[in-house]
């Protein structure tokens, strides 16, 4: 819980540790920003993957917040998100780390990001992306020390099947999770 909302840099890209992180999964939000919303400052503008969104607090309780996300074209979508959970709203992932209501104030701590990445503490498990936790074939990971005392996060990327286990000219192998490296065989 101490790492929730903290920024971590992996291979040159920044991620924010999501509120859903627990003893079995490290949840990261790619291209994310943290915002604090309240009834006195109900909206803030964020930039996610070079696109601008307005994130607005519609209502809050002690366990959830209703958030409205409006893109630069004016298209809006509103959803209720529980504390320590996330949902896709209008194309971005919105996580609530804290929601609160009192007689005088509504507030929520929000993380808005492009995509959710789930890394299991169980060695060899595939990395999962998105709210639907789609398995990224050809990946493996391990977290030394678990999520409570992590000292190393190891990623493995490999061909997902024998039909794609060669690097041929014109078809480079690109890191399927972070997209930070590629192996290319341009020609002989």
How confident is the model over 135-162, as pLDDT tens digits?
988 888 888 876 677 788 888 888 877 7
User: Torsion-angle region of residue 58: left (phi > 0), alpha (psi -120 to 50) or beta?
Assistant: alpha
* Phi, psi of 42, deg, nearest 5: -75, -15
**For residue 152, what pLDDT is reported?**
83
pLDDT at 17 over 80: yes
Give pLDDT, residue 182: 85
Give pLDDT, residue 1. 63
pLDDT confidence band for 185 (50 / 70 / 90): confident
Phi, psi of 168 (to 5 degrees): -115, 155
- pLDDT more than 70, % of the chain: 98
54-82 pLDDT, tens digit per residue, is 999 999 999 999 999 999 999 999 999 99
Across the chain, mean pLDDT equals 88
For residues 143 and 117, which has the higher predicted lDDT (pLDDT)? 117
- Residue 147 confidence (pLDDT): 66
Is residue 2 pLDDT above 80, yes or no? Answer: no
pLDDT of 89 > 90? The answer is yes
- pLDDT score for 4: 80
Question: HEC profile for the chain?
Answer: CCCCCCEEEECCEEEEECCCCCCCEEEEEECCEEEEEECCCCEEEEEECCEEEEEEEEEECCCEEEEEEEECCCCEEEEEEEECEEEEECCEEEEEEEEEECCCCEEEEEEEECEEEEEECCCCECCEECCCCEECCCEEEEEECCCCCCCEEEEEECCCCHHHCCCECCECEECCCCCCCEECCCCC
Q: How confident is the model at residue 40 (pLDDT cuts 50, 70, 90)?
A: very high
Higher pLDDT, 134 or 188: 134
């Amino acid at each position: 819980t101490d790492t929730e909302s903290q920024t971590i840099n992996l291979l040159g890209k920044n991620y924010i540790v999501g509120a859903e992180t627990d003893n079995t999964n490290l949840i990261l939000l790619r291209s994310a920003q943290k915002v604090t919303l309240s009834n006195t400052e109900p909206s803030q503008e964020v930039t996610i993957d070079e696109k601008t969104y307005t994130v607005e607090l519609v209502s809050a309780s002690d366990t959830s917040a209703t958030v409205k996300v409006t893109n630069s074209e004016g298209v809006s979508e509103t959803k209720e998100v529980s504390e320590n959970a996330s949902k896709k709203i209008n194309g971005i992932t919105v996580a609530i780390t804290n929601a609160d209501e009192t007689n005088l104030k509504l507030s929520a701590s929000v993380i808005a990001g492009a995509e959710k990445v789930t890394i299991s503490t169980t060695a060899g498990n595939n990395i999962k992306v998105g709210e639907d936790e789609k398995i990224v074939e050809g990946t493996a990971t391990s977290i030394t020390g678990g999520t409570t005392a992590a000292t190393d996060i190891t990623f493995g990327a490999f061909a997902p099947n024998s039909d794609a286990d060669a690097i041929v000219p014109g078809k480079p192998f690109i890191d399927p999770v972070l997209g930070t490296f590629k192996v290319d065989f341009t020609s002989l």
